């Protein structure tokens, strides 16, 4: 269902200056989704390289082998960021490019590549914000159990120490892990993301080890670079019940606990939300003495990544959660190509929710964007719906800021069209259109709009 957005945003009068001079404006990308060059200059395979090679795992049998070819086109892409007046660029390092087997021998060519990328950012007046882990675990570590093996804490610390020691003179802003619930849930319970594991035991062990690495990663960065600004990022969706029945409201509460509370609350010393999700009590099997304290983390900021709201109804047939999502198309509401409802108020509600926690100095929107069926017509991509989407969500961010909530930045997802995980190349989120046959870049109209918005 792709109708025009009916919104006051078409005539939106908001300006970047309305958010204050110290507000962080940026654009985001990730290594696996953009770099390509999956097996050159010493890079090892990741779990996504292996996962994409399996039949029927990725739409159209797409793979990230070439992606948006950022590996060879990083200078062009960074020059586009500069041309669009975007002062901050969130990118990620590929663990398997730096330590091909995940532990042990270092790939100096991989480190040199990221030095070139960071240097290009700095030369163009762009602040690099580095995410250390964005889902692309080295395949050799997965062979050893990956996130279900507690040894990953040591492997992760080794990787983090190397990166921070190498780049501490150039990188000030670090994010430890991108969207931990996607790692645990999609990759280790549902099996729809790499590494494709399923089941409760895989989920709970991975969940606990990711949560530990999230907090231990922070302390590792700070021990090496005390003046670093360190955060992590959480995916979050505004959850509402399908009806006002007690069953649906309880179901919505369970989904909210899983998607929005399961990782932030342990980091704040509140423990896992077992009261709302009793099946999480079995996570104690994976605890060792002192883990309660190890889970705590004093982040300088928390990145929240919001795209939509989810409507939830009770379902007897869904184990553990007894709840299911009601898709946007079934509800006949306006939605993106991902079948995610366009619901601008969701970002305001999530800022408000996270702002209620004590112990979060700053909130930053580290991802927000939309996929629509973009078309190149006469050399132009007139993605009006994406422009209106960003405008309408930014209006809600400004509402939160004007109410005194601790929101301090906004990063669009994403810089370019890219490999969108199991959706392959069908879903286009970029402000820059990629012709995946020629790798030609074309700035979409939404990109020009963002440029003009940032200049006001």
pLDDT per residue over 209-245, tens digit each? 999 999 999 999 999 999 999 999 999 999 999 999 9
How far is residue 20's CA from residue 222's CA, in Å, rounded to a whole number? 28
Is residue 47, in this structure, part of any structural domain at all?
yes
CA separation for the pair 163, 168 (Å, rounded): 8
Cβ proximity of 57 and 422 under 8 Å: yes
- Would 3 be classed as within a structural domain? no
Name residues whose C-beta falls within 8 Å of residue 87's C-beta, 6 or more positions apart in sequence.
24, 25, 26, 125, 126, 127, 454
CATH number (domain holding residue 269): 3.20.20.80
Query: Do 261 and 276 meet the contact criterion of CB atoms below 8 Å apart?
Result: yes
Tell me the whole-structure pTM to 2 decimals. 0.97
439/434 Cα distance (integer angstroms): 6
Residue 2 counted as domain residue: no
DSSP-assigned states of every residue in 186-225 = IHHTS-SSTT---SHHHHHHHHHHHHHHHHHHHHHHHHH-
* Phi, psi dihedral angles at 170 (to 5 degrees): -120, -30
Query: Average pLDDT for consecutive 10-residue bins of the chain (456 residues)?
Result: 45 90 98 98 98 94 98 98 98 98 98 98 98 98 98 98 98 98 98 98 98 98 98 98 98 98 98 98 98 98 98 96 98 98 98 97 98 97 98 98 98 98 98 98 98 96
pLDDT at residue 154 in the model:
98
Q: Quick one: residue 150, left, alpha or beta (phi over 0 = left, psi -120 to 50 = alpha)?
A: alpha
Give the integer Cα–Cα distance in Å for 225 and 176. 14
Residues involved in catalysis: 179, 367
Cα-only R_g, the chain: 21
With beta carbons less than 8 A apart as the criterion, state whether 280 and 274 touch. yes
Tokens of 106: 């270092």
Examine residue 373 and state whether it is found in any structural domain, yes or no.
Answer: yes
Cα torsion for 276, 280, 281, 283, to the nearest 10°? -150
The answer to whether residue 1 sits within a structural domain is no
Tell whether 22 is covered by a domain. yes
Nearest Cα neighbor of 415 from 90, 93, 125, 87 is 90
| Number of separate domains in the chain | 1
| CA trace torsion 230, 263, 357, 15 (10° rounding) | 60
Cα distance between the two ends of the chain? 33
Residues of the domain holding 254: 8-454
| Domain assignment of residue 255, yes or no | yes
The C-alpha atoms of residue 350 and residue 234 are separated, in whole angstroms, by 11
């Amino acid at each position: 269902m792709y109708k025009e957005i009916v919104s006051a945003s078409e005539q939106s009068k908001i300006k970047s200056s309305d958010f204050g001079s110290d507000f962080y404006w940026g654009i985001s990308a990730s290594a696996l989704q953009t770099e390509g060059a999956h097996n050159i200059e010493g890079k090892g395979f990741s779990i996504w390289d292996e996962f994409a090679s399996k039949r029927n795992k990725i739409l159209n049998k797409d793979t990230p082998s070439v992606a948006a070819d950022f590996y060879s086109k990083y200078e062009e892409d960074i020059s586009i960021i500069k041309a669009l007046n975007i002062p901050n660029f969130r990118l990620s390092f590929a663990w398997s490019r730096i330590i091909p087997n995940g532990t042990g021998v270092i790939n100096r060519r991989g480190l040199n590549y990221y030095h070139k990328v960071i240097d290009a950012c700095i030369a163009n007046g762009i602040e690099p914000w580095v995410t250390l882990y964005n889902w692309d675990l080295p395949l050799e570590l997965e062979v050893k159990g990956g996130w279900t093996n507690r040894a990953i804490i040591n492997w992760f610390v080794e990787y983090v120490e190397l990166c921070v020691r190498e780049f501490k003179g150039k990188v000030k802003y670090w994010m430890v892990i991108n969207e931990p619930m996607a790692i645990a849930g999609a990759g280790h319970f549902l099996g729809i993301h790499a590494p494709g594991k399923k089941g409760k035991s895989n989920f709970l062990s991975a969940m606990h080890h990711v949560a530990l690495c999230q907090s231990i990663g922070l302390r590792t960065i700070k021990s090496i670079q005390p003046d670093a600004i360190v955060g992590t990022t959480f995916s979050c969706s505004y959850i509402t019940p399908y009806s006002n029945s007690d069953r649906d409201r309880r179901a919505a509460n369970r989904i909210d606990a899983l998607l929005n509370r399961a990782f932030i609350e342990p980091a704040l010393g509140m423990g896992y939300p077992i009261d709302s999700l009793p099946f999480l009590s079995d996570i104690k099997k994976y605890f060792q003495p002192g883990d309660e304290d190890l889970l705590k983390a004093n982040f300088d900021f928390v990145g929240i990544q919001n795209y939509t709201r989810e409507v939830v109804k009770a379902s007897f047939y869904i184990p553990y959660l007894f709840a299911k999502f009601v898709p946007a198309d079934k509800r006949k509401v306006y939605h993106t190509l991902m079948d995610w409802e366009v619901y601008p108020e969701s970002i305001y509600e999530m800022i408000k929710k996270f702002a209620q926690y004590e112990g979060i100095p700053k909130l930053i929107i580290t991802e927000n964007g939309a996929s629509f069926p973009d078309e190149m017509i006469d050399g132009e991509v007139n993605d009006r719906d994406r422009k209106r989407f960003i405008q309408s969500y930014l209006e809600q961010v400004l509402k939160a800021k004007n109410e005194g909530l601790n929101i301090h930045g906004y990063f669009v997802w994403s810089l370019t069209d890219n490999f969108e995980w199991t959706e392959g190349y069908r879903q286009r989120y970029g402000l820059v259109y990629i012709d995946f046959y020629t790798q030609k870049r074309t700035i979409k109209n939404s990109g020009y709009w963002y440029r003009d918005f940032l200049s006001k």
